[in-house]
Amino acid sequence: MSTIQKLRTDVVIVGGGIVGASAALALRRMGAAVVLLERDLCGSRSSGVNFGGVRRQGRPVSQLPLAQRAHRIWAQLPALLGTDGEYIRSGHFKIARSEADMASLERYRALSSDFDLGLELISAARLRTQCPWLGTRAVGGSLCLEDGQANPRLVSPAFALAAQRAGAQVLERHKVEEVAHDGELFMVRAAHAQGTLEVQAPVLLNCAGAWAGAIAAQFGETPPLTWRSPLMAVTEPVAHFMDWSLGVEGGGIYCRQVERGNLVIGGGNGLTLGPDRARAEREGIALLAQQAVELLPALRHAHIIRTWGGTEGYLPDRQPVLGPSRTTPGLFHGFGFSGAGFQIGPAAGEVLADLARDGHTETPIDAFAIERFDTPPVSLSATVSAVPTASPT
């Protein structure tokens, strides 16, 4: 027989990706009572299947305060989570394939000079001697020595586990189906195998990733969130030749080599089959393989052993929504990280915890306000509404 269980807490979080889980951990460290509701398994979506790039270089300058805060958190992973998640500061090298690319990297270095990224421009001549493994299209690039990489499959679930160890109620396989606000408290209703759970709390954090638009819409907010599936592939292990994580100015392909020799490669998008499913396409993989060999000729004979994608929420300006709702006091959003939320995720979680506790944060987040999308709030007459299945827009 199905049962309805009720809980009362300080903060209820929807979504157990790196953002929701790190918010839960930060809130517990502040002493707040937290319930986190995750539809699947924590870290099983974007946060656990991404490329694993932990980079500040190349981010919009408006994201750098958040990225710097995250950089400090990443340095403390073993103390915070009990694992290093294979995080290493291997260096991130952004390749220029033309003089125009090189000029653009120089401009970025000047623009970001207020932040301590330590960017170093490397000439073609130095590249040839230092990195003989790089293909000849590279005419130089920009190195951020303290950026790096990590294993998302380890890091993201570890945030949720750490939050649970710290006292958060982390409830997996709990799908939020109804949300409402009575002017004082949120009521969040989740379905699970044994029945229904109703959680009441004065604060709700919307960390539902690509599906967060459905939660926001219940409060009359309709940011133009869409989803895509970045395409990923991994090769068989080959002899270790590269420490840096690589990107390319202007985008296209990114690549890193893990300790046991496999090359993880990403670029372009796979096929989105629906809100919950995505897959790699033959043409996309062929293009990725061609670009990878051009960049790293040593891969000419390497086999790709696995391909995958993941559903990620994108906003038109490729900046997240991070901050208070404009319709509902006590509701805070953190979603739409547009393919780049792994590095900043832990800081986004801390910012949400600041907002939940104090209503403000020291980290500048104006650029991420939901108000920047000029869609007027939709007035709602219902107090309790079903969360619809999101559909691509």
- Which residues make up the interface to ligand FAD (CB under 6 A)? 14-20, 37-40, 44-47, 49-53, 175-176, 207-211, 230, 232, 266, 309-310, 312, 335, 337, 339-343, 345, 387
Least distance between ligand FAD and beta carbon 190 (Å): 7
Return the structure tokens found at 266: 């990403």
Q: How far is the CB of 393 from ligand FAD (least distance, A)?
A: 16
Cα–Cα distance, 126 to 135 (Å, whole number)? 14
- Distance of closest approach, residue 215 Cβ to ligand FAD, in angstroms: 7
Nearer to ligand FAD, 211 or 244 (CB): 211
> Of 34 and 102, which has the nearer Cβ to ligand FAD?
34
Q: In this complex, which beta carbon is closest to ligand FAD, that of residue 143 or of residue 265? A: 265
Please state the closest distance from residue 126 (CB atom) to ligand FAD, in A.
26
Q: Which residue has the tokens 């303290």?
A: 146
**Residue 19 or 24: which CB sits closer to ligand FAD?**
19
Q: Which is nearer to ligand FAD, 42 or 102 (CB)?
A: 42
In whole angstroms, how close is the CB of 124 to ligand FAD at the nearest point?
A: 26
- Shortest Å, Cβ 151 to ligand FAD: 11
Write the CA distances from 389 to 33, 71, 213, 273, 392, integer angstroms.
29, 35, 10, 14, 10
When the beta carbons of 141 and 346 are compared against ligand FAD, the nearer one is 346
Minimum CB distance to ligand FAD, residue 173 (Å):
9
Q: Is 172 exposed, middle or buried (0-12, 13-18, 19+ CB in 10 A)?
A: middle
Print the SS3 string covering the chain: CCEEEEEECCEEEECCCHHHHHHHHHHHHHCCCEEEECCCCCCCCHHHHCCCEECCCCCCHHHHHHHHHHHHHHCCHHHHHCCCCCCECCCEEEEECCHHHHHHHHHHHHHCCCCCCCEEEEEHHHHHHHCCCCCCCCCEEEEECCCEECCHHHHHHHHHHHHHHCCCEEECCCEEEEEEECCCCEEEEEEECCEEEEEEECEEEECCHHHHHHHHHCCCCCCCCEEECEEEEEECCCCCCCCCEEEECCCCCEEEECCCCCEEEEEEECEECCCCCEECCHHHHHHHHHHHHHHCHHHCCCCEEEEECCCEEECCCCCCEEEECCCCCCEEEEECCCCCHHHHHHHHHHHHHHHHHHCCCCCCCHHHCHHHCCCCCCCCCCCEEECCCCCCC
Residue 1: CB atoms within 10 A of its CB come to 4
Q: Nearest approach, Cβ of 50 to ligand FAD (angstroms)?
A: 3
Residue with smaller CB distance to ligand FAD, 102 or 347: 347
CA distance linking residue 107 with residue 94, whole number of Å: 13
Nearer to ligand FAD, 37 or 102 (CB): 37
Minimum CB distance to ligand FAD, residue 301 (Å): 25
Nearer to ligand FAD, 132 or 250 (CB): 250
**Which residue, 324 or 341, has its beta carbon nearer to ligand FAD?**
341
Nearest-approach distance from CB 375 to ligand FAD, in angstroms? 21
* Token couple for 152: 């998302």
